[in-house]
Amino acid sequence: MTSKLTLTKSNNIYSLSVEASTSQLAKVRDFVAEHAERLGLSDKEIGNIRLAVDEAYTNIIKHAYKNIPAKPVKIELGSDSSQLWISIKDEGESFDVQAYNEPDIRQRIKNKQRGGMGVYLIRKLMDSVQYTRTGHMNEIRMIKHL
Amino acid sequence: MKNFGISIREVKNIRVLDISGELDAHTASQLENSLKALIDQNEIHIIVNCKALDYIASAGLGVFMAYIEDVRGMGGDIKLTNMSERVYNVFDLLGFPTLYDIHEDESEAVTGFDK
């Protein structure tokens, strides 16, 4: 039983396809948390991964797809002995990571602005974050070292 | 199905919102509607008790960002209390503890309004 589990951990990639909708947020969070738990991560690390994935998926809904419903999002998760990786793909507008500035929360409160905090949180919560665009597909790839 | 809930009670003329469950981009509008309704009625001494809040994403924090200036400008405040360590950590990562009045216990926030 133990050896089978090890094999699963090293070879399998788990994927979940959902439409871009905030109604799917809890489902997406639970999907990644379930697999992170199997890898023996601590509750704190699992919480961090849940939040990072929530923020990335929320950004896709709001910014890549501009809240247009029924657009596709694919979440993949895999791991080897040294890392857990999570990839989220969409076909919406690309995100220019170079143009992103760390949010000044005090200023945003003053201007009654909200948002703009997700990318910053993802960077804080994960060990590595990469954004790529291939053809019409955007990918955010987040890595947590094990 | 996990959910989000709000109930409102009154303590010494302060409106206390007990929020529970998961606060994310899907459920944030419920908190926003409740806060907005209070502010529209000029109820500006507000405590949000997070004791039963299991999870918060930045969309939840965004609701507090949108209303705190108005409420303070009217002479009131939105104070936050009873957060779990996990929930507090999200506020902390974004630097909220220096900008918001956050207390370990609701009674401290009630006292804070007396001052």
- Interface A-B, measured as beta-carbon pairs within 8 A, has a size of 73
* pLDDT value for A114: 82
* pLDDT value for A11: 55
Closest CA to A74 of A88, A94, A85, A59: A88
Question: Cβ of B24 and A44 within 8 Å?
Answer: no
Task: Please give the structure tokens belonging to residue A145.
Answer: 């070292």
Closest CA to A59 of A106, A94, A34: A94
By percentage, how much of chain A surpasses pLDDT 70? 92
* pLDDT value for B2: 56
Spell out the alpha helix ranges (H) of A39-117. Answer: 43-59, 105-110
pLDDT in tens, A106-137: 888 888 888 889 999 999 999 999 999 999 99
* pLDDT value for B54: 97
Domain count, chain A: 1
Average pLDDT of the segment spanning B95-107:
95
Q: Exposure pattern of B49-84 as b/e (b: 16+ CB <10 Å)? A: bbeebebbbbbbbbbbbbbbeebeeeebbbbbbbbe
Closest CA to B87 of B72, B97, B99, B77: B97
Which CATH number do you get for residue B29? 3.30.750.24
* pLDDT value for B86: 95
Choice among A1-15, A117-131, B7-21, B88-102 with the minimum mean pLDDT: A1-15
Question: Is pLDDT of B95 > 60?
Answer: yes
* pLDDT value for B1: 42
Question: Cβ of A109 and B99 within 8 Å?
Answer: yes
**Identity of the residue numbered A118:** G
Please, which pLDDT band fits residue B93 given cuts at 50, 70 and 90?
A: very high
Domain count, chain B: 1
Residue B67, domain extent: 4-114
Give residue ranges of B with CB < 8 Å to any A CB.
1-2, 22, 24-26, 55, 57-59, 61-63, 65-66, 68-70, 86, 90, 93-96, 99
* pLDDT value for A6: 40
Average pLDDT of the segment spanning A78-105:
91
pLDDT in tens, A31-59: 999 999 998 899 999 999 999 999 999 99
Contact B23, B83 (CB under 8 A): no
| Among the partner residues A55, A109, A110, nearest to B58 by beta-carbon distance | A55
Exposed (0-12), middle (13-18) or buried (19+): which is B21, by Cβ within 10 Å?
A: middle
d(CA B39, CA B80): 16
Which CATH number do you get for residue A23? 3.30.565.10
| Among the partner residues B63, B94, B99, nearest to A117 by beta-carbon distance | B94
Contact A28, A102 (CB under 8 A): no
Choice among A85-99, B17-31, B68-82 with the minimum mean pLDDT: A85-99
Tally DSSP H helices, then E strands, for chain A: 5, 5
pLDDT in tens, B12-57: 999 999 999 999 999 999 999 999 999 999 999 999 999 999 999 9
Residue A92, domain extent: 2-145
